[in-house]
Amino acid sequence: MARCDKELLLQIPVEGFMYPNEVELQWSVLIVLYPFLTGLVAGAFILASLERVFMVKAVKPTYRLALLTALAFLIVAPLPLQLHLGHPERSFEMYLTPHRSSAMAMFGFVYLWYLLAVLVVEIWLDYRRDIVVMSQCTTGWKRLVYRVLTLGSTNISERSLHIDERVGWLVTVIGIPSAFLLHGYVGFIFGSVKANPWWSSPLMPVVFLFSAMVSGIAIVMLLYMLMCRLRREPIDMDCVDTVAKYLFYTFIIDFSLEMLDLIHRIYEADESFRSLDFMVHTRLFLSQVVIQILLGTVLPILLIGVTQVVKLAAEQRKRIYVAAGCLTMIGIFAMRWNVVIGGQLFSKSFLGYTTYKMGFVAREGLLTAIVLTVLPFVILGVLVKLLPPWPEKKSAISSVAVAAYGAD
Amino acid sequence: MSITRRQLLILLPAAAVAWKSILAGTPETSPNYNMTEHWWGMLVDITKCIGCGSCVRACQMENQVPDGYFRTWVERYHVSDYDIENPKVDSPDGGKNGFPPATVSDGKNFFVPKMCNHCADSPCTQVCPVGATFVSPDGVVLVDQKYCLGCRYCVQACPYGCRFVDPKKKTAQKCTLCYHRITKGLTTACCENCPTGARQLADLKNPNDPIHEFLKTHAVQVLKPYLATRSKLFYNGLDGSVR
Amino acid sequence: MKAFKDAGHLFRLASVFLVGGVLFLAFRGVLVPRSFGQYGHYRGNAIKDTAALPISYAGHQVCESCHTDVLEVKSKGVHKGVACEACHGPLATHADDPASVQPTKLDTAVLCVRCHEANLAKPKNFPQVVSAEHSGGAPCETCHQPHSPAIVAVTGGSQ
């Protein structure tokens, strides 16, 4: 963390013994935010692929929204990393000389691959007809934007759209393991550090991935319900019921994995266990036991579980989904917090603990984290305006398209 | 280190040559330094360490180490007879100005100097995303100050807590084994200033280095051997309770 | 070709990626430091950069090459293994140009105590005293000559 001189160091309360260089935390709330954001990207994409590849027709209304959500969060994702680096101007070195033994070096390429070869291509292929039509219908700077996006081709014949459909399907199929890689490698960054027993685990990439899917599904569900409200459109209950069902199943798997890790730790009780156990019971109690496990995992599972077992009216189900969705988002953020911050609160000598002093108006402070969390929603707002996700707008355009290019 | 007149007559010209090469605008290495002929390590003798902190002060002055951060530090252990698993450890300001008197007399007390272990299988160089930290051909783990991004992954990956990020330069820093000195025939600043000879620079490729004899005749340990870092910081008399 | 008739837009997309890829490779060729990869996955010149850092401690051999009189005294006492700069501080600048830099006079009250203050953690056979009880406030050099600390004569005054 930046600008920490000796005076500031001395202000950090230390309990027991820490190696002198360990007192100051290395990775701040921004590094908590990064896996949270890429997790949303991966999870939203997986939800989108449910419809495209696994033919779950019920979730179609969320398809385009899920893609745009993924894009909005992916655009913001590198920002917390850049703000954290001591020398962000040197970050391009990861593209020049990536060190192949380092999981972090993969970031640049996996990110670029996922952004360009998967997400942007898939969105472009799915929206291409609308882009071409809007490049004819709109005026001013918007028209210029759409014209650039067409890449100069105005071919929206049935055959070209069919080719788009097939290629898009292929891109989605490639996109699923790419999404796993995009977020799985983050888990591996932590899971492969043998020096840190809180992180070092083969389960880490898997836990990260499943919690990412949970958060991604939850946020698309919440955004869909919110946008229907804003557009004064009825919520497609079949859609949200299906999304909630998938959220439920994914959550069960995620919870099982986290419990497996916990039980394994308690059972084996290796040399780090006493120190970590004490940390969880004291410094991490609120964020881990209360927020992550009880409020953020058990409660949402129970809430959605109720809807799976008991027949409830649509209004009641909606309320439960919103509550469960919000709790899930908080819980998954808490999970990232507990991994990143928790892993730095204890000494590698297992003899002491330090404290995380989070600034507010600082380069790596809370305000920055809040701004970076809000920013994707702002970008999503712009994307939704530029590339409207929903059929009713599409039908208005379709009639123009039919007039201009002949029948579908 | 007793020195006879004869030895002095041999030493003086050698010192003069070494000094001349230093004065000649601090060249990269002395002209006849060949990296492949050396494999550097260090020996720390716990039975000799008096916790005076001379090494910590010397390192800070030689390497302009920022206050509050440490390229080397000294820990004091108090291991009581009835609770060997839980030693009491302290390191006030890294031991830079010595230690206050111990208050409890039962059990054993000793000092443990710590620094970068210059691991041959170093986990910190493994995780660097751009190749800014590396093991040199002569076995010293170094950081390229012009290339480091300051991502702090190496600091996380070091099991020994020997790395930090300079608050002004914003790059990773750690003990360089005084590379700028050892390549000119000098010893490290910490070894130079250790009054009891508890710290000794070792060149494992040099057949005349006393380390070879020492390793044959003493029980020597490294920190956290189960992590298989192939540490080259050897301790004599390291108690099992040392973390 | 008939198969590619309606796929023109895909070729345009592919060419955008191709151009991007070529630009990336071009940038890479220019921006990767010349000495990178010389010895391993790092900038070879980093080794030279590190080796060229300035030196602060001259090393006892250099001190002894001029101060032979001190060496004579020291080599006979128990401080023979203590380097000059361990007490006198870094003096490479003094060795470089003796007239320009004069080492400061040391305060034994701080200096000697650092090593010799009694502490349970110090090795039992190491000479250590409780300084408050040892000399009744008299400075260490009253009885001990630092270069050869064994007491041979008490230089008058109170104990």
Q: Assess whether pLDDT exceeds 90 at residue B23.
A: no
pLDDT band at B27 (very low <50, low <70, confident <90, very high): very low
Give chain A's domain count: 1
Residue B232 lies in a domain: yes
CB contact under 8 A, A351 and B243: yes
Give the pLDDT of residue B62: 97
Give the pLDDT of residue A407: 42
A189 or A51, which is more confident?
A189
Amino acid at A350: F
Give the pLDDT of residue A394: 44
Residue A224 lies in a domain: no
Give chain B's domain count: 1
Same domain, C149 and C122: yes
Mean pLDDT of chain B: 91
State percent of chain A over pLDDT 70.
Answer: 95
Q: Assess whether pLDDT exceeds 60 at residue A187.
A: yes
Give exposure, A73-86, as e/b (b: 16+ Cβ within 10 Å): bbbbbbbbbebbbb
C-alpha–C-alpha distance, residues A162 and A155, integer Å: 12
Give exposure, B34-65, as e/b (b: 16+ Cβ within 10 Å): ebeebbbbbbbbbebbbbbbbbbbbbbbbbeb
pLDDT in tens, A388-402: 998 654 444 445 555
B237 three-state secondary structure: coil
C144 or B17, which is more confident?
C144
**Domain residue limits at B119:** 30-236
Give the pLDDT of residue A128: 92
Give the closest-approach CA distance of A276 to chain B in angstroms.
Answer: 15
Torsions phi, psi of B121, nearest 5? -110, 65
pLDDT in tens, B88-147: 999 999 999 999 987 777 889 999 999 999 999 999 999 999 999 999 999 999 999 999
Give the pLDDT of residue B10: 62
Give the pLDDT of residue A3: 46
Q: Assess whether pLDDT exceeds 90 at residue C4.
A: no
Q: Assess whether pLDDT exceeds 70 at residue A256.
A: yes
C-alpha–C-alpha distance, residues B207 and B203, integer Å: 8
Range A308-313 average pLDDT: 94
Give the pLDDT of residue B4: 67
A13 three-state secondary structure: coil
pLDDT band at A176 (very low <50, low <70, confident <90, very high): very high
Pairing, β B108-115 against β B40-45: unpaired
Give the pLDDT of residue A392: 54
Q: Assess whether pLDDT exceeds 90 at residue A10.
A: no
Q: Which of B127, B143, B146, B175 to probe the A interface (max A CBs under 10 A)?
A: B127
Return the structure tokens found at B23: 């004065």
CATH of the domain at B218: 3.30.70.20
Give the closest-approach CA distance of A159 to chain C in angstroms.
Answer: 6
pLDDT in tens, B137-158: 999 999 999 999 999 999 999 9
Q: Assess whether pLDDT exceeds 90 at residue A220.
A: yes
Query: Residue B30: CB partners within 8 Å, gap ≥ 6?
Result: B18, B21, B183, B184, B185
* A375-379, B22-26, B134-138, C63-67: range with lowest mean pLDDT: B22-26
Give the pLDDT of residue B28: 54
Residue B12 lies in a domain: no
Residue A333 lies in a domain: no
Which DSSP string corresponds to B79-142?
E-TT-TTS-EEE-GGGGTT--PPPS--SSEEEEEEEE----TT-HHHHH-SSS-EEE-TTS-EE
A207 CB neighbour count, 10 Å cutoff: 21
Range A174-197 average pLDDT: 94
Range A188-208 average pLDDT: 96
Mean pLDDT of chain A: 92
Quote the Cα angle for A349-A354-A358, to 5°.
145
Q: Which of A3, A6, A19, A353 to probe the B interface (max B CBs under 10 A)?
A: A19
**Domain residue limits at A84:** 28-192+360-405
Residue B6 lies in a domain: no
pLDDT in tens, A343-372: 999 999 999 999 999 999 999 999 999 999
Same domain, C112 and C156: yes
Q: Assess whether pLDDT exceeds 70 at residue B188.
A: yes
Q: Which of A2, A3, A5 sits opposite B68 (nearest CB)?
A: A5
For A190-317, where are the E strands, in sequence order?
Answer: none
Q: Which of C2, C4, C6, C36 to probe the A interface (max A CBs under 10 A)?
A: C6
Quote the Cα angle for B132-B137-B143, to 5°.
25
Give the closest-approach CA distance of B55 to chain C in angstroms.
Answer: 9
Burial (Cβ within 10 Å: 0-12, 13-18, ≥19) of residue A272: middle
Give the closest-approach CA distance of C37 to chain A in angstroms.
Answer: 9
A369 or B17, which is more confident?
A369
CB contact under 8 A, B130 and A97: yes
Give chain C's domain count: 3
Burial (Cβ within 10 Å: 0-12, 13-18, ≥19) of residue A183: buried
Same domain, C44 and C71: no
Amino acid at B152: R
Lookup result for tokens 């209950």? A237
pLDDT in tens, A269-289: 999 999 999 999 999 999 999
B177 or C137, which is more confident?
B177
**Domain residue limits at C140:** 105-159
pLDDT band at B9 (very low <50, low <70, confident <90, very high): low
Q: Which of B48, B176, B181 sits opposite C55 (nearest CB)?
A: B181
Residue B94 lies in a domain: yes
Residue A46 lies in a domain: yes
Q: Which of A95, A96, A153 sits opposite C9 (nearest CB)?
A: A153
Report how far apart the first and last C-alpha atoms of chain C are (Å, whole number). 109
State percent of chain B over pLDDT 90.
Answer: 81
User: Which residues in chain B touch residue A18, judged by CB atoms under 8 angstroms apart?
Assistant: 161
Residue A348 lies in a domain: no
